[in-house]
Structure 1
Amino acid sequence: MTAPRGRTGRPPLTEERKAEIRLRIARAAVDLFVAQGVVATTGEQIGQAVGVSARTVWRYFPSKESCVRPLLSAGIDLIAARLRDWLPGQPLERLFDDEFADAHGFTGGPDRATVGALVRLTRTERGLRAVWLQTYDEAEPAFAKALAERAGLPADDLRPTIRAAMFNAALRAAVEHYAWRTDTTTGDAATAEAELVATLRSALAVAAEGLT
């Protein structure tokens, strides 16, 4: 009797599993970048830290700097959803109030210190800086679409595009202001978290003057 034909070997990875691997690679990459610098870090080292081959690392990312993207882009969809839910007359800074942070883990969680360390590296590492700015550049259309939906405007209307640019710039400036002045790897985590929320709220309060 002939054995039935079909796929052999390991079953294909689910999208959830792929996302998990990408995030593990991102965390390992940041740890290595902080410990020894970007130039000294290799794909082989990143893979070894995660328990995968360098070939697997390059399958997911085109360069070692791009390995950090999952940590930077994780909040884009979440923020866009909050923008769509932003009620008329509600202060914009409420998007990052304590209740929201607790419910969604936006500012807390195991990656807070890692992201803080990564943002500090973007100040001196050009490759990481490029990835950081590209992530925000790609976030802007998502924010513009959310603001257009909220206002009942066409997706190609100039007004939500301008407002998204202001909102996006305020977010980036606030995160950088906080990260470049705070070492999130030391000190009290709750205090650092509160300072980040306060910084985000202050920045959005300023930006809201042009987003009403």
Structure 2
Amino acid sequence: MTAARGHTSRSTSRPTGRPPLTEERKAEIRLEIARAAVDLFVTQGVAATTGEQIGAAVGVSVRTVWRYFPSKESCVSPLLSAGIDLIADCLRRRRPEQPLAELLDREFADERHALAGPDRATVGALVRLTRTEPGLRAIWLQTYDEAEPAFARALADRAGLPADDLRPTIQAAIFNAALRAAVEHYAWHTADTAPDRETAQAELAQTLRLALGIAAEGIA
């Protein structure tokens, strides 16, 4: 009888259902949804795109889409925020003599990094949409609003200053504004003219260098 009870206990203790998703897989799903959303927004417009269509493009249910994002416009946020931690790390590791305009050169030269990833053309199309889509514009500006404290912490760490010191706060605001202005300038004036991905990458890198150089000069 004891052996039988033990056998029953072992058989009923087996896990049932699917194993929980890892954080890495959740991040992958979020990025897949983001890419699908942008593709649909670009091809047919934001108003004509539904959560059901976004889910179908990825192979997930609309319930899954809304589990990860509160609105269809917010689906694009992973593409916009992917480089924040990378850029903050660049600021933290910047050498004292290194010109600000050269800060992101290594990241653009290395295809493995997020800034040089395959989504650059997609993000450029998305940024162009923020001109005419208020919901997307709000997400775009929110991304930079959330990035600024991360940049300020990185600059404070590098300088050995308290996190609430005004100097890194102001520096982060200037740096953040330069980045946003550069990406918008590229998306609105240059992105469509590049004949291939390599040229587009070089043009965006040059636009960022110019913007960061101007920011480093300060206000005359």
Q: TM-score, normalised by structure 2?
A: 0.91
Cα distance in 1 between the residues matched to 2:92 and 2:86:
10
- Check the 8 A contact 2:40/2:49 in 1, yes or no: yes
1:210 positional shift? 4.1
Q: Which runs of 4+ in 1 moved over 6 A?
A: none
Cα distance in 1 between the residues matched to 2:194 and 2:212:
26
- Check the 8 A contact 2:82/2:114 in 1, yes or no: no
Q: Secondary structure at the match of 2:12?
A: coil
1:65 correspondence with 2:73 = yes
Q: Which has the higher contact order (CA 8 A, sep 6+)?
A: 1
Name the residue aligned to 2:91: 83
1:198 maps to amino acid: Q
Gaps of 5+ in 2: 1-6
Note the alpha carbon deviations across 1:121-142, whole angstroms, 9 max, x for none.
Answer: 1111000000000000000000
1:53 correspondence with 2:61 = yes
Q: Which has the larger radius of gyration?
A: 2
Cα distance in 1 between the residues matched to 2:14 and 2:167:
54
Equivalenced residue count is 210
Cα distance in 2 between the residues matched to 1:44 and 1:187:
34
Q: Describe how 1:74-153 pairs up with structure 2 within 5 A.
A: 74-97=82-105, 99-103=106-110, 104-153=112-161
Give the RMSD, CA atoms, in angstroms: 1.6
- Check the 8 A contact 2:38/2:76 in 1, yes or no: yes
Q: Secondary structure at the match of 1:89?
A: coil
1:161 correspondence with 2:203 = no
Gaps of 5+ in 1: none
2:130 maps to amino acid: T
2:109 maps to amino acid: D
2:37 maps to amino acid: A
1:193 positional shift? 1.0
1:102 positional shift? 2.0
